[in-house]
Structure 1
Amino acid sequence: MRIERINVYSMLLPVKGGAYRMASDDVQSLDSTLVEVVTDEGLTGWGETCPIGPVYQPHHALGARAAIAEIAPGLLGQDVASIRLLTKRMDERLNGHGYAKAAFDIAFLDLLGQRLGVPVSTLLGGALTDRVQSYYSLIVGVPDETARIAADKVSSGYPRLQVKISGRNLEEDVATVHKVWEAVGYKARIAVDGNRGLTVAFAIHLDRLCPSIPFAFEQPCNTMEEVATLKGRLTHPVYLDENTEDQNAVLRAISSGIADGFGFKVTRLGGPTKMTAIRDLCAIQSLPHSCDDAWGGDIIAAACAHLASTVEPRRFEGAWIAQEYIEGHYDNANPIIIDNGHIAVPQGPGLGVKPEPGTFGTAVASYGS
């Protein structure tokens, strides 16, 4: 089964209900890039990558499509049987840009799963469950309103909450953490996410002003060097997110002992195939982590769910998908949805998601016959 044609699409995903507010930016809409890989046997595989704007990470939508333009011509005629060989071929065409290569990796897994008649989770080592935990991300907001939403989401079944802070005064951040804890208590696990926005001093202050509230402190500061200075000075465990830009960064964080867990983005780490190595390394070190992504529709959501199902549940921190924040689905017959705080893992071959014809309009680029 060889690659005959590659089509690239752009899909605008407006944020439902207003801006998605983080420390670094207020996001109104997202530009998702879709990759359609067509084979000489008539099978089609789909991949997706959707950076959350140009400042959250050193990734952006136009960069993804420029990287795809460098890679795609070199994949034409290649056999899909070995994803490792295809990964090698991509690396020979372009150095870095894992978030763009991830779209191809997802599409290759989709194709191979269809060819073998198995779900992507089987190709990633095998599912341990058919239903994975999700978590809800509470944007930076007024403390009382944030607490109200937190209670509502826990009542609807979410077992974990991510509380975004930073970009404002310390008093509001501390008040938000306290009010969310008062609203939900032990009914849900809590992560307090600084999105790189806190100084070392602010992180220490917040930690000491919330000593009795059990939460994971996610990416409080901008760099690994800043986070390293927090070691031994905080009462709360520290998780890394944005600093884990590739496999080497994760290995560095683990070897230096500065991370107690991780918030992983599947496309940032180069796709599900590369993330399995990180999953297994975290298992060896008994480090909890999530399996989510920055943004995107059903294709990324399906990839996250498949990978999440292969993680040992006691070390799993949830799978975040953008479904609560966007309208509609790529595949209305097999949508990836959050139900009672959990995501059903697709059981069909490949991703288990097939975008309906015409969903993405006209291709912005095509390669091959």
Structure 2
Amino acid sequence: MSEIYNCRFIAASILDAYSPVKREILKITKISAFQVDLPLKEGAYSWHIHTYSSFDSTIVVVETDEGLVGYGETCPLGPAYLPAFAEGARAGLKKISAGLIGEDPCQLGKINQRMDELLNGHPYVKSAIDMACWDILGKATGQPVYNLLGGLLQENVTLFKVVSRQAPEQMAKKIAHYQEQGFRQFQMKVGSDANLDIERIFAVSTALRTGNVLAADANTGWRQHEALRVAKAIRDIDIYLEQPCLTYEECQVVRAHTDHPMILDECMADVGTLIRGYNDKAMDVVNLKINRVGGITKAKQFRDLCVTMGVIVTIEDTWGCEIATSAIAHLAHSTPKGMHFQSSAFHEYHSIEVATGGPVVENGYMKASSEPGLGVSVNSEALGKPIFSIAVS
């Protein structure tokens, strides 16, 4: 009987520690949005046909009546990558923020339901609010977000390093340099010209050390016939093919004609497509982007379904600073190691620090803060003045 009592006592203590009943009901009193440019350390980032020297990010600050503050971020990868753009994110945030004043940020299901009532679609807009609310929930319960997402299932998060699209010899030099920094998994950007991309893949794969992992990411850039030509030309190279074509159907045709493992990314916009891909055996790895699915809440649903179905998952976002990278790290930390392929540390690509407390990067891995919430604190000088602030009247 004493053993049963002890088990019940321990279980009750755990539930008590996480129970929302223990905290006061919080209310959102103010939502502010800030625009921040994220300049690239290497001067430019190129993929498919696009090249940028910086990315336009929107930082959201959600304040509560009890003084707890949460931080979120949405950073589309330019206006032509996905159906999302930075100015649209800020317009959408301004549209929904007034309707969230007075809501409890810790009631994440209700927050997401309310955002859907206020704005149909536009998940990249809602992602920043949802992220900030998870940050508040962690602070309200005294827990790092990874504990709330399932616990610390892996101590260190495996990273991949992006090899930006350049001339073949330049890309080969870059991957050699990144390997010296301790990175072992890489995503090389292709998708602009099939003939040159074949040269790029041969050059970069030659510089790859034995045992390291390489993916050729076309970011939807090849036509179906071009992707088939590339796949045939690189048949004997140990490499992953990532989102070779624009549509799910085109990618399926390519998969049927290659032995290379397939990663699907841009076409994996929701759990419905994920289930379709699972049933069709359309991919070996799926890329989950927090911003694309609408925030941490929906990303957790997507991740949990991947784990249940046995689909290996890359966890990342479209782009971002320390805030978005922290959200990536917390979701990855709470993913079973065998089900997690790799993640991104976007804040390492920038020449400015928007927030302190971002994940620590070392030898090809990152580790999130164990502080409550996301563990980040914004730099007010980097944020500047808000684009808008909506508060209790």
TM-score class, shorter-chain normalisation, is over 0.9
Match of 2:20 in 1: none
Tell me which residue corresponds to 2:80: 55
Whether 1:156 aligns to 2:181 is yes
Match of 2:113 in 1: 88
Instruction: Output the CA distance in 1 between the equivalents of 2:177 and 2:301.
Output: 36
Provide the rounded CA distance (Å) in 1 between the counterparts of 2:97 and 2:110: 14
Say if 1:246 and 1:270, in contact at 8 Å, map to a contact too.
no
**Corresponding residue number in structure 2 for 1:39:** 64
Partners in 2 of 1:66 and 1:341 — Cα distance?
Answer: 37
Note if contact 1:124-1:272 (Cα within 8 Å) is conserved in structure 2. Answer: no
The correspondence of residues 1-369 of structure 1 with structure 2, limited to 5 A, is: 1-168=26-193, 170-332=194-356, 334-369=357-392
Kept after mapping to 2: 8 A contact 1:323/1:337 = no
Q: CA deviation at 1:130?
A: 2.6
SS at match of 1:26: strand
Q: Is the 8 A contact 1:295 1:321 kept in 2?
A: no
Give CA deviations for 1:329-348 in whole Å, capped at 9, x if unaligned.
Answer: 2234x233422111112100
Comparing 48-57 with 281-290, greater Cα deviation is found at 281-290
Runs of 4+ with >3 A deviation: none
TM-score, with length taken from structure 2: 0.90
Q: Which moved more, 1:252-261 or 1:283-292?
A: 252-261
CA distance in 1, matches of 2:296, 2:315: 9
CA contact (8 A) 1:323 1:338 kept: no
Separation in 1 of the partners of 2:173 and 2:33? Answer: 41
Query: Which stretch has the larger CA shift, 277-286 or 51-60?
Result: 277-286
Distance 2:166 2:43 in 1: 12
State how far apart, in whole Å, the 1-side matches of 2:185 and 2:380 are.
36
Structure 1 stretch displaced more, 148-157 or 34-43: 148-157
Give the AA of the match of 1:99.
Answer: Y
Look up the SS of the partner of 1:167 in the other structure. coil
Report how far residue 70 of structure 1 moved. Answer: 1.9
- Corresponding residue for 2:19? none
Once the two structures are TM-superposed, the CA of residue 179 in structure 1 deviates from its matched residue by 2.0
Q: Which runs of 5+ in 2 are unaligned?
A: 1-25
Q: CA deviation at 1:162?
A: 0.2
Distance 1:201 1:50 in 2: 32
Question: SS at the partner of 2:383?
Answer: coil
Amino acid at match of 1:68: L
Q: CA deviation at 1:132?
A: 0.6
Rg larger in structure: 2
Secondary structure of the 1:245 match is: coil
CA-CA distance at 1:305 after TM superposition? 0.4
How far apart in 2 are the matches of 1:231 and 1:182?
24
Q: Distance in 1 between matches of 2:256 and 2:191?
A: 22
CA deviation map 1:115-141 (0-9, x unaligned): 100001111111212321111011111
SS where residue 352 of structure 1 aligns?
coil
| 1:32–1:48 contact (8 Å) kept in structure 2 | yes
- Residue-pair matches, total: 367
Q: TM-score, normalised by structure 1?
A: 0.96
Over the matched positions of the two proteins, sequence identity in percent amounts to 34
Report the RMSD for the aligned CA atoms in angstroms.
1.4
